[in-house]
Amino acid sequence: MKKPIMAGPAALAGAVLATLLAAPAARAEIGIIVSAHAANPPQLAQVCQAYLGKIKAPTPINFNEKNPLRDEFYAKACNKTPAQVLATWSKLILTGTGTPPAEVDGAAAMKKAVAADPNAVGYINKKDLDPSVTIIATPN
């Protein structure tokens, strides 16, 4: 006797699950942004130095820790893990030699903060780009 072929909702759920598990995780295409009115945009190395508290300018704007783009930015742009970034900032705060970047909740707030300050730098998913900011690098 032949085994019956799975049919119905269970088969569909199994097929969807198998497809999701086999598909690579979707990654955002990150764009490092400055105000559309910025006169001298920084180089990528300067951006990382600012985000890691090594230099004071440009002024970095960060997503909060709940935003997955934050970890992806540090990994791609600065080659740092979340633990390494936390350790860096813990040391700077403990010694009184640094203040972490200001944080925003989402892409709209990031664009608004960066657009308002010609010395600021931030990062967004490239799909969220608008004319208020300019991409200076894509660390993908």
Q: Which two tokens stand for residue 6?
A: 């799975």
Is residue 138 scored above 90 in pLDDT?
Answer: yes
pLDDT in tens, 78-98: 999 999 999 999 999 999 999
Is the model's pLDDT at 134 over the cut of 50?
yes
Nearest by Cα to 117 from 12, 38, 19: 38
- Residue in 61, 32, 4, 55 with CA at minimum distance from that of residue 139: 32
Q: Where are the alpha helices (DSSP H) in the chain?
A: 9-22, 44-51, 68-78, 82-95, 107-116
Q: Confirm if 24 and 131 have CB atoms less than 8 A apart.
A: no
* Least confident piece of the model among 17-21, 69-73, 86-90, 128-132: 17-21
Place of tokens 């598990």: 21
Provide the mean pLDDT of the chain: 86
List of residues 6+ apart from 104 with CB closer than 8 A? 61, 62, 63, 64, 110, 113, 122
Give the pLDDT band (50/70/90) at residue 140. Answer: confident
CB atoms within 10 A of CB 112: 15
User: Which CATH number is associated with domain 28-137?
Assistant: 3.40.190.10
- 108: tokens are 């709209």
**Count of other CB atoms within 10 angstroms of residue 105:** 11
**How many residues belong to the chain?**
140
